[in-house]
Structure 1
């Protein structure tokens, strides 16, 4: 069963409370999303570390209930 955008956003915000999260459904099928996540907790971390934090937040759902998630992560701009 596919995930909805609200569930994805909720899971990310539970794990990264200060995050600003924008989710887009890329194919209209509830299986292919893009997410832009901005968090102060990403400052000083590599892109890989940022993406790993998001993947942990999704608790193993990526690749299962959530088929594809294109990530764009960053720390807030000054």
Structure 2
């Protein structure tokens, strides 16, 4: 499994989502996912939405995925003015 494949699975599974995924050992990854569908949801519910896009790969091909989940309004791209 690689970071780009995980990014694609998340973006395909959550319409309108943008994902940035890092990880270089093939089983441990970190992701920032920005999606309007997260609006009004607690972090656990947001994470479940992301995990659902990965299915049974979680705990198998993907041993660990550290998530940061934001709505577009919560996300400020690097370099954006305050």
**Structure-1-length-normalised TM-score:** 0.88
Q: Deviations over 1:23-76 (max 9, x none)?
A: 111xx2111110000000100011111000001000111110011100000111
Q: CA deviation at 1:77?
A: 1.6
Match in the other structure for 1:76: 72
The answer as to 2:12 corresponding to 1:21 is no
Could you list the runs of 5+ residues in structure 1 that have no partner in the other structure?
Answer: none
The two structures, once aligned, show a CA RMSD in angstroms of 1.1
Count, aligned residues? 74
Runs of 4+ in 1 over 4 A off after TM superposition: none
Which entry has the higher C-alpha Rg, 1 or 2?
2
SS at match of 1:60: helix
Give the alignment's TM-score, normalised by structure 2.
0.84
The answer for unaligned runs of 5 or more in structure 2 is 75-82
